Amino acid sequence: MLKISETGTVNEIVTLKLEGRIVGPWVAEVRKACEHFLSEHRALQLDLAEVSFTDENGTAAIAALKSRGVTLANCSRFVAEQLKNA
């Protein structure tokens, strides 16, 4: 399960906090939540402090979002290693 919550906007950067596992159907939910802000040309940051695991599709989705200018904050070492190999 994955919880996605908007934690606020600082300096016009929207932060979405993700909690849980980015796997299966939750990958599409992450993309959908991010696309809402990206389509409005808003700066976006993902707080990944509470993400315990991402599957291959989840890792690819986060890497793709990063390539679109989404910043990542508070990545665990485990998730950071997964992203290095994406």
Structural domains in the chain? 2-84 (3.30.750.24)
pLDDT, one tens digit per residue, over 59-79 is 999 999 999 999 999 998 888
Given this model, what pLDDT does residue 83 score? Answer: 85
Would you state the pLDDT for residue 50? Answer: 95
Q: If pLDDT is split at 50, 70 and 90, which confidence band does 11 have?
A: confident
Whether this model's pTM surpasses 0.85: yes
What is the rounded average pLDDT for all residues in the chain? Answer: 93
Angle, helices 56-67/77-84, rounded to nearest 10 degrees: 80
The residue type found at 9 is T
Query: Which two three-digit tokens encode residue 59?
Result: 């890792």
Distance CA(37)–CA(50), nearest Å, equals 21
Q: Would you call 2 exposed, middle or buried from its count of C-beta atoms within 10 A (0-12, 13-18, 19+)? A: buried
